[in-house]
Structure 1
Amino acid sequence: MAGRITPAAGWYGGRSAAERQAKRRRRFLEAGLDLFGAGPGYRATRITDVCRAAGLSSRQFYEEFHTLEDLLAELHLYVNDVAQRAVLDVLPQVRHLEPIDRCTRLFRAYAAGATADPRHTRIASVEIIGVSPRLDRQRLDRRARWIDFLCEQLDDAASRGEIPSRDFRVTAAAFIGAINGLMHDWAVGWVDATLDQIVDELLLMLLGRLQVTDEQGDGEAGPASHGSR
């Protein structure tokens, strides 16, 4: 009918349709965060559970997501973005530091961002694993981004003569893989340790690698000039 204001374009209660939709989506995301990250977990949750927790209908759910997996996928990206922002916020403050101090600060920022909310840790390290080929690809894509980021930091340090120049991809992949594995085991209770102990152990792995030079000249490797801390 000409002149009719449809729900998608109109205003109600002082809020536009887009604002109301964004609010509904946030309610579904918060419900999913609670159920997947603190409640029964993704595999034990149904769409009706999410709707009940959000106080919304299944019709409204399907206006936002096709499947429950879509909700998990969006939450996985969200919790990774939170950790990424924590690192990028610190990056300008540590560019002038030597590699060991810079990597230490960056990794502690990552750990703080990734674990400040235990629900984030569980979704990123536990709930996302083995759900589907699609989510496996998404998880590995985010892992690849972290590997690339670490390589960039190490390549930058090498270009400034702070550490020997080499291909850092294996080191970066091994370190990111260790983070994923240890965080999973810690989140599910297989590793009895505090977060500080987890962070310190992972840093020992990375910093120990940075404090050893590549084989050069006489084929011997020794500690770098920057002493252990």
Structure 2
Amino acid sequence: MAGGTSEGEGLTERLKRSTGRYAGKAATERHAERRRKFLDAALELFGAGPGYQATTVAALCETAGLSTRQFYEEFRTLEDVLAVLHLEVNDYAERAVLDALAQTGDLPAAERYGSVFRAYAASIAEDPRRIRITFTEIVGVGPRMDEQRLSRRARWIDLIRTEAAAAVGRGEAADRDYRLAAAAFIGSVNGLLHDWAAGWVDATLDEVVDELVRLLLALLRSAE
């Protein structure tokens, strides 16, 4: 019949063509699932396996159980995958910190910052692959990743400056410009957690967090 479907066309193909759905899932759902599989595979390869520099698109696809064609439908390059993972880990940690700040507003400074940094450390350290992505694999990749890493670092610095301003308002900190102090503190956080994750620091995570809290309290302490 003119304009009709051919006898060889199956019901599945007609359904896909007419509704954009396959096996009960819309195209957007299928893309989201494939994207997540690629990201999960990359977290394993970049964060626990050979690392970003030693991973190929073919190896990532094999680990994800998907094809290279499907990879290029979701990403342009492996660097795109690394960029998304880095942002995900930072977003997860940021939510943990903001939640801890919201829940500890009435506590004394030492208790509040202890809770906040334990929340941050737990969000990163509960999966060692996240530490490697955040503090190792992202470094030295290229200008784009350097810009993203520094941009996220700037967000953390702004968060510390905001908290310092709140501490000033509560009479817990000296009234001064905390730009350099916040940058130095974030550098200490990144460096210490990187070295701890690499096994270069002989301490428990709780001991690392306690030291970071002491550093922050010293930073905020009123000048003599």
TM-score by length of 2: 0.89
Structure 2 residue matching 1:164: 3-state secondary structure = coil
Partner of 2:139: 129
Is there any run of 5+ residues in structure 2 with no aligned partner, and where?
Answer: 6-13
Residue 30 of structure 2 aligns with an amino acid whose one-letter code is R
Is there any run of 5+ residues in structure 1 with no aligned partner, and where?
Answer: 215-220, 222-229
1:19 to 2, 6, 29: 29
Contact 1:126–1:187 (CA under 8 A) maintained in structure 2: no
Residue 95 of structure 2 aligns with an amino acid whose one-letter code is R
2:208 to 187, 193, 198: 198
Closer/same/farther in 2, CA of residues 139 and 2 from structure 1, 3 Å limit: farther
For the pair 1:66 / 2:76, whether they are aligned, the reply is yes
Closer/same/farther in 2, CA of residues 9 and 43 from structure 1, 3 Å limit: farther
Closer/same/farther in 2, CA of residues 7 and 71 from structure 1, 3 Å limit: farther
Partner of 2:91: 81
Which residues of 2 match residues 202-221 of structure 1 at below 5 A? Answer: 202-211=212-221, 213-214=222-223, 221=224
Partner of 1:218: none
Structure 1 residue matching 2:53: 3-state secondary structure = helix
- How many residue pairs align between the two structures? 214
Contact 1:8–1:18 (CA under 8 A) maintained in structure 2: no
Contact 2:41–2:64 (CA under 8 A) maintained in structure 1: yes
For the pair 1:28 / 2:38, whether they are aligned, the reply is yes
2:164 to 144, 147, 154: 154
Partner of 2:111: 101
Take 2:102 and 2:17, find their aligned partners in 1: how far apart are those partners?
Answer: 45
What is the CA-CA distance between 1:97 and the residue it aligns to? 2.2
Structure 2 residue matching 1:44: 3-state secondary structure = coil
Q: What RMSD in Å do the two structures reach over aligned CA positions?
A: 2.0
For the pair 1:182 / 2:192, whether they are aligned, the reply is yes
Structure 2 residue matching 1:42: 3-state secondary structure = coil
Take 2:18 and 2:128, find their aligned partners in 1: how far apart are those partners?
Answer: 36
Take 1:180 and 1:188, find their aligned partners in 2: how far apart are those partners?
Answer: 12
Partner of 2:100: 90
Q: Residue deviations 1:76-113, cap 9 Å, x none?
A: 00011111111122222111223332222211111111
Contact 1:7–1:17 (CA under 8 A) maintained in structure 2: no
For the pair 1:165 / 2:175, whether they are aligned, the reply is yes
Contact 1:100–1:210 (CA under 8 A) maintained in structure 2: no
What is the CA-CA distance between 1:176 and the residue it aligns to? 0.4
What is the CA-CA distance between 1:162 and the residue it aligns to? 2.8
Residue 127 of structure 2 aligns with an amino acid whose one-letter code is D
What is the CA-CA distance between 1:197 and the residue it aligns to? 2.0
Q: Residue deviations 1:150-188, cap 9 Å, x none?
A: 110110121232322111122211110011111222222
Take 1:85 and 1:152, find their aligned partners in 2: how far apart are those partners?
Answer: 16
| Structure index of larger Rg | 2
TM-score by length of 1: 0.87
Closer/same/farther in 2, CA of residues 58 and 101 from structure 1, 3 Å limit: same
Take 1:107 and 1:43, find their aligned partners in 2: how far apart are those partners?
Answer: 31
Partner of 2:9: none
Contact 2:93–2:123 (CA under 8 A) maintained in structure 1: yes
